[in-house]
Each structure stands twice: as structure tokens, then as C-alpha cells.
């Protein structure tokens, strides 16, 4: 599309952080922005930040953000000249790109033909092979039935990966290690694919063990220029969904980068690609790489490439869509420093990372900004709600440094200083990953989370220096509270409260005697065989406690629950009862509240929809047998029996909306 100058107004057909991200660049370029929103997003941040906003339907995505007709109506209503789709929703729907073209509206993305070619995993593998791009061994075609799948798996050998042909974002993907698992994988992958994409076609390919997920960012204009912007390492994944990404990869050398980049460019040329896109590869321990798929949109993790290259990908997408020619040359593109992104999700790591929903009662991003090497892309505000209707990602926290070590250090500190209250998040888990020795060494694979943390994560009890830090912070926090209470006006003359120096920190049955000497905002904290100098301006009620501990900057989450102080730092946490030393003897008289016995109940692990119940009252069940399926955030979660037993009573029926920990059924 030949144009003079950039667009005057664009519509962002998306929500959340990516809508806000696109608006930020558009406004810098002097382009007016239009937001679209569902009923659930009427007060959302992206609606507030746009120049105009149009309501497009109910909360359900199918009736709002996925409705081509309603998006087109908003385009016509506002006179937008172009549409940026963000990621997800309609971003890789060729019918959407065609519909916009038919209305004379620019699509800030690739052509419909390129989207269609790369959006089908079967067709994309054929095109990749034809373009000379190495592909994973497997069957290039549609799986007909279970017998056909078993035959293919027998030929290429287990383990195999079952994938939805129209899939993405980890949906419709299952690993089968033997023929018995293959049957379940086919059924569940097809069901999830049908629910997510309306397309249950599947393919099978060899599952590469100890793999790394590494992708190449490509950029192409309508004038024949095709470039690659280096790689991103995306191996830290959970259920095939990326959690932490970085650029450059700590594993890829210059020779491999050039070879992978050349193949990515060749594929982009083969489909006459235009705009920003990503070619994903799987890489084994010997740096052999194989094509996985091409994402014909802006990736969630694009900020790490922006920080490592100094380029604004959204701006370049807009300029390309406006008909401009890229002014860059391949040799000008260099990866400098290290950028690492952590996705902050509303999910419960202790419950197997199941989605969490609720209101952001408190939301405070880490202090600092780009000057401190920290960038945060978010689409939420304090008081906003994370609902069951959309993806549970709250924000993206990106750290940049001159080298990977400094980037990791900045990331870890920023995670500790990120305050979110009102719902459960994965921040403690991210903190643990950022400080994991294997992560620091760069020994990554897509199995990293499963191998190091299992299927769930629980904050471990701190030991050594980590324990000393938290004990010191707990004692200082209690002193600060006592100092505030001592300064309350209206006290009787001569009866002013005194702040003690001797304290006892009780961690359950464990006792730690500490002496705290205050000198303004500075405190000397002494334990049995250690001593720390703490300087902090923390005030009671602040959700994050920042301090200098013997010259080292630390941040910790802090929350008061009655007499208890909860502190978390570096992935570890404590519940501390801090009392003056002379009252320590009374601790043994404190009653211990026993938790209720819920072992007879099957509880919903998350808020969601009870899709089906596979058992009836009075039925005998075996350990591992399917009991129910709960759907949340478009993901199906199969709940199975932990032991043999008999169903005594059903507490919910299929189609019911469930709250977290709501009883579904009861065992005898």
C-alpha cells in the first residue's frame, strides 16, 4: 500500500499490556489511537489511555475481541486508517487481514497469504522444507485416526509430540512417551484445539529430548528487504508456554546465529513476508536446530530484542505497513548487552501454576525505570480485575544490563520489589528461578522447570544468609512499628512507650534471639553468631521493604496478618512472630490452630467452568481415574482420583461456575 507519511489514526484490536504497548509508540509518533473493549474491560487501562474507545461486545472473546464484524464496525465508526492486532485474538487470522484489505484499511502485519501459509503447521513445514530449512522428523500431514497416529509414532520412535495444526501458545500440545499415552494425548489435544481454535486437526513429530527453544526475529518490508534481528532464548517454559525469555541466548555462538538467521530469512522470502515475524527453532545439545513454526505477529517477548538491538519493533511494523522501506542493513544490526524478560502471571505456583483470578487490591511496580535497567510492560492498574475470560498475564518485567550476570541481578532485585496483592501470582517462583544456579550458568532446556521444581512450587524455608536477611528485616520492621506506636500523641507524661532492643523472632517452633540497636534509619542487628547493618526508610503499611544490608541492596515483600509478619525475598518466605525478649516465654502458651480436614473432598483448584463430571454417586473409582474437567483461561484441566475410593456425594454439576477450593464431590 503506497502512502505518504504515517497513519493519522490506528485502532488496536487487542487489550491489556500489548494494547498499551502499541499505544505508547503510536503516541510518540503523533498517531491517534483507538481502543476496543468488551464489557469486562470497560474500566481497563488500555481504554483509559486511548484517544478514543469503542465497546464491541460481551466479555466472551468470541463475541468481542474475536469478532471480525465488530472490529470492522469500530474501524468504520472511528475512521481508523490502520489496525494493529497485537498478539493472540485475531493477530494470525488471515480472514481478518483480508477483511481489512477489502475495506481499504491497512493491516499492521503480514499479508493474509503469509499468515495462512505459516498458520497451518502442516503447510508451514512443507514450505520450510522447500525453502531449505531443517525440520523436525515427523509426519507432514493430517493425522487420520488413532491407528494412523500409532503407525507414525512407531516409525519415528517415541517420545512424540502431538500438536494442533492450528495451535499456538502451548494449547493443543501433548507429549506421549508410549502407545498408551498416545491415545490420551490425541483425545485431549484435539479437544483443547477444538475449544481454542475451532480446528481439531493434529500432527505428530519427534520429541527432541533436552531441547532448547530458540527463535529468530525477522523483519521484512514490501520492497524486498528481509532482515533478522538475532535470536531469543525461550527455553524456560511451563506446559509449553514461555515464562522467561532472553536475548541473546547464552548458548548460541556467532556461527550458529548466522546460520539460523539465514534460514529464517530464506523462509520469510519464500512466503513473501512483510512486517515483523518470528521463526521458532528447537535446538539440541550439539546446536543442531530444527524448524518448529513461524509466528506471523509481534511476539510477547519482543521487548528483549528491542533492548538488545535498540530498535522499536512496533514503530518498524507501523512504518512497513505505511509502505516505507527499511533503512537498516543486516550488518548494522548488533546484539549489545543482555535483556531478560519474566512474565508475571496471576497463577498459583503451589497449585501446579493454575490460574488465579481476583482484584488487584494493591499494585505497585518496582522502583526505577529504564535508567536502572528495568522496563515494565503492563496493562493493569491498582483496583483492576484479572478475570476468567482472558489470559492471566499481569505484566512483563524486563531487565537489561551490559552482560547477562548484571541483567539477572537486576531482574532478581526487581522481582523482589514488585508488590501485587489481592490474588496469587508467580512472583515467588520467578524469584527462585532468577536465583537458581543452573539458570545463572545458562544450562537451560524446555524441561528446566519440571526438572528443577516439579509440577508445583512452594517457597522453600530460607537457610544461611537468606535466613539472616529475612530475620534482620523482620526485626527492623517490628522496631519501626514499635517506634511509630511510641510516637502516638496523647500519651500520659512520663509513660511514653519505649522501644526494646531485645527481640525474639519465632518461626513456628523455631526461636531466634536478636538484639537491635537503632540509630535513626540505621539499625545494627545481632544474632547468635552474626551481625548486620541495616538501613531502611520502610514505613509500616508499605508492601515492599527496601534496605541496605551491610552495603547490599535488598527488597522483600512484607505483609502483616494480625500479630504475624510475612516476608518473602529471593523465592524464600517466612511467617514470623516478633515479640520483645521479655515476652518470649509466653510464646509456648500460644494456641496452634489446626487446619480443617478436607481430604475427603475433591476441590476445584482454580476458578473456572466445570466442563464435565465423569463419575456418579456411589461409584467405585481407582487411583488415577478421571473425575472431572475444569476449564479456565481456555485451558482444560483434568482432575483425577489420588486414591481408590467410592463417591459419596456430588456437590456440583456440569456447567457450574466454580470458585477456587469449591467442593466438586465428596468421597466416603
| Residue of 330, 376, 81, 346 whose CA lies nearest to 227 | 330
The three cell numbers locating residue 60:
466472551
Which helix (H) or strand (E) element contains residue 475?
helix 464-486
Rounded Cα–Cα distance for residues 421 and 424 (Å): 8
DSSP letters of 247-283?
ES-SS--HHHHHHHHHHHHHHHHHTT--EEEEEEEEE
Rounded Cα–Cα distance for residues 292 and 182 (Å): 20
* Residue 424 dihedral angles phi and psi, to the nearest 5°: -90, 140
Q: 615 CB contacts (<8 Å, ≥6 apart)?
A: 621, 625, 627, 628, 647, 665
The 10 Å CB-count burial string (b at 16+, else e) for 630-652 is bbbbbbbbebebeeebebeebeb
The three cell numbers locating residue 126:
512443507
Q: 243 CB contacts (<8 Å, ≥6 apart)?
A: 236, 237, 342, 343, 426, 430, 433, 449
Is 293 a known active-site residue?
Answer: yes
- On the 0-12 / 13-18 / 19+ scale of CB atoms within 10 A, 656 is middle
Q: How many CB atoms lie within 10 A of CB 181?
A: 16
The answer to whether 474 touches 567, Cβ cutoff 8 Å, is: yes
Rounded Cα–Cα distance for residues 139 and 156 (Å): 9
Rounded Cα–Cα distance for residues 121 and 203 (Å): 8
Q: What is the dihedral of CA 260, 265, 267, 273, to 10 degrees?
A: 150
Cis peptide before 468 (omega within 30 of 0): no
| Integer CA distances (angstroms), 594 to 560, 597, 663, in order | 21, 9, 20
The β-bridge relationship of strands 502-507 and 160-168 is: unpaired
Rounded Cα–Cα distance for residues 370 and 367 (Å): 10
For the chain, the first-to-last Cα distance in angstroms comes to 69
- On the 0-12 / 13-18 / 19+ scale of CB atoms within 10 A, 29 is middle
Instruction: Assign 314 to helix, strand or coil.
Output: helix
Rounded Cα–Cα distance for residues 44 and 19 (Å): 11
Rounded Cα–Cα distance for residues 47 and 460 (Å): 40
The answer to whether 447 touches 453, Cβ cutoff 8 Å, is: no
| Residue of 12, 271, 231 whose CA lies nearest to 119 | 271
The β-bridge relationship of strands 32-38 and 9-12 is: parallel
Which of 231, 246, 293, 341 is labelled catalytic?
A: 293
Rounded Cα–Cα distance for residues 350 and 427 (Å): 12
Rounded Cα–Cα distance for residues 427 and 538 (Å): 21
The three cell numbers locating residue 578:
516478633
Active-site positions read: 293
Amino acid at each position: 500500500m503506497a502512502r505518504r507519511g504515517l497513519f493519522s489514526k490506528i485502532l488496536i484490536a487487542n487489550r491489556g499490556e500489548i494494547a498499551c504497548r502499541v499505544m505508547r509508540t503510536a503516541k510518540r509518533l503523533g498517531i491517534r489511537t483507538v481502543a476496543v473493549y468488551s464489557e469486562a474491560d470497560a474500566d481497563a487501562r488500555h481504554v483509559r489511555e486511548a484517544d478514543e474507545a469503542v465497546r464491541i461486545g460481551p466479555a466472551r472473546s468470541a463475541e468481542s475481541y474475536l469478532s471480525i464484524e465488530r472490529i470492522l464496525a469500530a474501524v468504520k465508526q472511528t475512521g481508523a486508517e490502520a489496525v494493529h492486532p497485537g498478539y493472540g485474538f485475531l493477530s494470525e487470522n488471515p480472514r481478518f487481514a483480508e477483511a481489512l484489505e477489502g475495506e481499504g484499511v491497512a493491516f499492521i502485519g503480514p499479508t493474509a497469504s503469509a499468515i495462512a501459509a505459516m498458520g497451518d503447521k502442516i503447510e508451514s513445514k512443507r514450505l520450510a522444507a522447500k525453502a531449505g530449512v531443517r525440520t523436525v522428523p515427523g509426519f507432514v500431514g493430517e493425522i487420520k485416526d488413532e491407528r494412523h497416529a500409532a503407525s507414525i509414532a512407531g516409525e519415528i520412535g517415541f517420545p512424540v509430540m502431538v500438536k494442533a495444526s492450528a495451535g499456538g501458545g502451548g494449547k493443543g500440545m501433548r507429549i506421549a512417551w508410549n502407545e498408551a499415552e498416545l491415545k490420551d494425548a490425541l483425545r485431549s489435544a484435539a479437544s483443547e484445539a477444538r475449544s481454542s481454535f475451532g480446528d481439531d486437526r493434529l500432527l505428530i513429530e519427534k520429541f527432541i529430548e533436552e531441547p532448547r527453544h530458540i527463535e529468530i526475529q525477522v523483519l521484512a518490508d514490501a520492497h524486498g528487504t528481509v532482515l533478522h534481528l538475532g535470536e531469543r532464548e525461550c527455553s524456560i517454559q511451563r506446559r509449553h508456554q514461555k515464562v522467561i525469555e532472553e536475548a541473546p541466548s547464552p548458548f548460541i555462538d556467532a556461527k550458529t546465529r548466522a546460520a539460523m538467521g539465514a534460514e529464517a530469512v530464506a523462509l520469510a522470502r519464500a512466503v513473501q513476508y512483510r512486517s515483523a515475524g518470528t521463526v521458532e527453532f528447537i535446538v539440541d545439545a550439539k546446536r543442531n536446530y530444527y524448524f518448529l513454526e513461524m509466528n506471523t505477529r509481534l511476539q510477547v517477548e519482543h521487548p528483549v530484542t528491542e533492548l538488545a538491538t535498540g530498535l522499536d519493533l512496533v514503530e518498524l511494523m507501523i512504518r512497513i505497513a505505511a509502505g516505507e522501506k527499511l533503512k537498516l542493513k543486516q550488518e548494522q544490526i548488533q546484539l549489545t548487552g543482555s535483556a531478560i524478560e519474566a512474565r508475571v502471571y496471576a497463577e498459583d505456583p503451589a497449585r501446579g501454576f493454575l490460574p488465579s483470578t481476583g482484584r488487584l487490591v494493591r499494585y505497585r511496580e518496582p522502583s526505577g525505570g529504564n535508567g536502572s535497567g528495568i522496563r515494565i510492560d503492563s496493562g493493569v492498574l491498582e483496583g483492576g480485575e484479572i478475570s476468567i475470560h482472558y489470559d492471566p498475564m499481569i505484566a512483563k518485567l524486563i531487565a537489561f544490563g551490559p552482560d547477562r550476570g548484571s541483567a539477572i541481578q537486576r531482574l532478581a532485585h526487581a522481582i523482589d520489589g514488585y508488590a501485587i496483592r489481592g490474588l496469587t501470582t508467580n512472583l515467588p517462583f520467578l524469584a527462585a528461578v532468577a536465583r537458581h544456579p543452573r539458570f545463572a550458568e545458562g544450562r537451560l532446556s524446555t524441561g528446566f522447570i519440571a526438572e528443577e521444581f516439579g509440577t508445583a512450587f512452594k517457597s522453600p524455608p530460607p537457610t544461611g544468609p537468606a535466613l539472616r536477611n529475612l530475620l534482620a528485616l523482620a526485626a527492623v520492621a517490628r522496631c519501626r512499628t514499635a517506634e511509630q506506636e511510641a510516637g502516638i500523641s496523647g500519651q500520659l507524661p512520663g509513660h511514653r512507650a519505649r522501644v526494646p532492643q531485645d527481640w525474639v523472632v519465632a518461626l513456628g517452633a523455631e526461636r531466634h534471639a536478636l538484639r537491635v540497636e537503632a540509630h535513626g534509619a540505621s539499625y545494627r542487628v545481632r544474632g547468635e553468631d552474626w551481625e548486620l547493618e541495616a538501613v531502611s526508610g520502610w514505613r509500616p503499611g508499605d508492601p515492599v521493604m527496601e534496605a541496605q544490608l551491610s552495603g547490599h541492596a535488598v527488597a522483600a515483600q512484607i505483609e502483616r496478618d494480625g500479630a504475624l509478619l510475612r516476608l518473602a525475598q529471593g523465592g524464600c518466605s517466612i511467617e514470623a512472630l516478633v515479640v520483645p525478649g521479655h515476652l518470649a516465654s509466653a510464646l509456648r502458651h500460644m494456641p496452634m490452630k489446626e487446619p480443617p480436614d478436607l481430604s475427603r473432598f475433591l476441590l476445584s483448584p482454580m476458578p473456572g467452568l466445570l466442563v464435565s463430571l465423569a463419575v456418579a454417586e456411589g461409584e467405585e473409582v481407582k487411583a488415577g481415574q478421571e473425575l472431572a474437567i475444569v476449564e479456565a483461561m481456555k485451558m482444560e484441566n483434568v482432575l483425577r482420583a489420588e486414591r481408590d475410593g467410592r463417591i459419596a456425594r456430588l456437590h456440583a454439576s456440569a456447567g457450574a461456575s466454580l470458585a477456587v477450593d469449591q467442593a466438586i464431590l465428596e468421597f466416603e
